[in-house]
A and B are shown apart, each in its own frame.
Chain A
Amino acid sequence: MREPTWFRWTRRVGLLVLAAFTLLPIYVMVSSSVKPLRDVQGAFTWLPSHVTLQPFREMWTTIPLGRYFINSLVVSTISSLASVAIALLAAYALSRYRFRGRQTFSVVVLSTQMFPGILFLLPLFVIFVNISNATGVNLYGSRLGLILTFLTFTLPFAIWMLAGYLDSIPRGLDEAAKVDGNGPLGALFRVVVPAAIPGIVAVAIYAFMTAWGEVLFASVMTDASTRTLAVGLRGYATQNNVYWNQIMAASLTVSLPIVAGFLLLQRFLVSGMTAGAVK
């Protein structure tokens, strides 16, 4: 069917307005990151008076950005890998077996995703403080403690998404593997996991992304030495005398790998995330 002219014009104008809305903050971030300091201290200008890469150099010394970066990297990587490893076994059980308690487990996992984070934050804080008081093991303020709290949101999501992904892998594969003399675990690791690699990678990246951007737990459970990017950058941005060009340069730097990863894996992430809603 030929589209009427008015539809084509509505599309053009509508998408243009949405694109402008979408792009405005991105433009501000990118253009401000190459501005000299005096450009961001006065009224906003659309173009830099001259383009400079100095903010990208100076940002590492104005705030301990390198340390934040490493903290975020370590904490996000480990919580992502740990949740995928745990979730893979659980998802295999949920996808391939019918057993008592299966429904209960799924409901618990799904429902914890809708709970407000603050509900877990206060008791976890109290538990951590009391553990360190009783045993001397310091979870509060440590990376390990932060990783544990990050699992509160990465794990249920990983279980849910991986179970859906494994459902889409034909059972015939498992059967063939078993006929070849593999046990259930052999079938999982020799046949199902290789076939599920795209889904596993997508879930791991998504878990990494959510951990990378987490603020609620990180703002409470970290101290000066374990602070993550999300909390460190924000803390700096709300101070009085802000080098906005450096903050924008830092925001851009910490966003680029995440956005690139997301766009590369767009197809898997989108199908994984929307599967639950569409089915």
Chain B
Amino acid sequence: MSEAVKASLTPKSAPAAPSRRRRRRRELLPYVLLLPAIVMELLIHIVPMVVGVAISFLKLTQLYLRDWWHAPFAHLDNYRLALNFSKPAGKALLHSFWVTLAYTVVVLAFSWLLGLAAAILTQRPFRGRGLVRTLFLVPFALPVFASVITWNFMGQRDTGVINHLLVDQLHLASDRPFWLIGGNSFWMIVVVTVWRSWPFAFLVITAGLQSIPGELYEAAVLDGAGFVAQVRRVTLPLLRPVNRVLILVLFLWTFNDFTTPYTLFGDTPPRQADLISIHIYQDSFTTWNFGSGSAMSVILLLFLLVVTGGYLAVANRRTEHA
């Protein structure tokens, strides 16, 4: 450090004002640094998105896959097909949309509640706290496919641990239920996703709690606030900015999740757990109709943009009023 000070006291050859060329070079520098990232962004995001939107207006079937330039223009046919809810394709898409929405809301609610409860319970130091915190992170650290394959094994009707526990040991049912097909599959994927994502809520809320000054709790105690009142009047209001981002991130992740349903059910999920990402995937790669697959993706994106925009607008207005 002293060397730096010395150097700054004795300017070497640096001119008083940087020359014009030098200044221009300085102005260009951030763009030069960004260049590789911009090129990559163009290659992997911007161009594919433009192509994706273009494809959604084409009759791009297997016939034209190898030279999509020659695929005939389809006007809005792909969108009309996807959004015509009285025809099978539109009906299936709408069904998948509702399933995904229900799944997302339930997963979000449980993940947030469990994360909040665990974060509050581990807020004050106790013996073994570090161990508990590390343990709770493990589902988040495990590769998704490895843990979901394990859940697949657990949900097997005859050899899985779930039926062993519920039927053989607790006698809650007389007949072994199926977990990976039929109506139960919806709850199965909800449980698996909650298992995977509540640690993230725990992680973020724990970090948020650490930024709440301890004096606030002391002041609340002096006011005679019990534990519940402290949570309601100190913890929850101060967590609001954290929750705002957390809920949005969890919503988007859960809504777009592909790995969990694909690993749990394979490429043809049961109807009751036909989540939208896998629905579009399956539809595109079994019919090879990429035009309609792209149209559905664009519709999905528009929905997510509207939801995110609306959510941020409401959340921001609330903070301004608060």
Contact = CB atoms under 8 A, between A and B. Distances in A.
A123 B137 CA distance: 35
Contacts of B293: 118, 122
A244 B155 CA distance: 12
A254 to B, nearest CB: 6
B114 interface: yes
B30 A99 contact: yes
B37 A180 contact: no
Given A112-B45, A233-B145, A255-B143, A93 B34 contact: yes
Chain B: number of interface residues, binned into ranges: 35 or more
Contacts of B216: none
Interface stretch (B82-90, B101-109, B280-288): B280-288
Contacts of B280: 118
Nearest to B265: A238
Contacts of B154: 24-25, 28
Contact of B153 (A90, A176, A244): A244
Given A122-B297, A179-B7, A15 B121 contact: yes
A93 B146 CA distance: 38
A251 to B, nearest CB: 4
A21 B195 contact: yes
A43 B143 contact: no
B65 to A, nearest CB: 6
Contact of B259 (A3, A213, A254): A213
Contact of B159 (A41, A89, A252): A41
Contacts of A248: 150, 153
Interface string B146-189: 11011111101011110110001000000000000000000000
Contacts of A97: 29-30
B242 A86 contact: no
A4 B298 CA distance: 54
A156 to B, nearest CB: 8
B238 to A, nearest CB: 11
B134 A263 contact: yes
Contact of A209 (B135, B143, B300): B143
Contacts of A10: 121
A37 B179 CA distance: 23
| Interface bin, chain A | 35 or more
A255 B146 contact: yes
Contacts of B8: 179
A123 B55 contact: yes
Interface in B66-123: 66-68, 114, 117-118, 121-122
B300 A119 contact: yes
A262 B33 CA distance: 30
A184 B31 CA distance: 13
A120 interface: yes
Contacts of B63: none
B146 A43 contact: no
Contact of B258 (A96, A123, A216): A216
A148 B207 CA distance: 34
B55 A19 contact: no
B107 to A, nearest CB: 14
Interface stretch (A49-57, A126-134, A196-204): A126-134
Nearest to B50: A123
A277 B308 contact: no
B124 interface: yes
Given A10-B121, A44-B159, A93-B34, A259 B142 contact: yes
A159 interface: yes
A81 interface: no
A29 B147 CA distance: 8
The 5 A-B pairs at the shortest CB distance, nearest first, are namely A262-B141, A90-B37, A44-B164, A93-B33, A274-B207
28 contacts: A7-B227, A15-B121, A19-B132, A26-B138, A44-B164, A86-B40, A90-B37, A93-B34, A94-B34, A102-B30, A114-B252, A114-B256, A116-B256, A116-B277, A118-B280, A122-B52, A133-B66, A176-B4, A209-B143, A215-B144, A216-B281, A237-B149, A258-B142, A262-B141, A266-B134, A271-B207, A276-B245, A277-B204
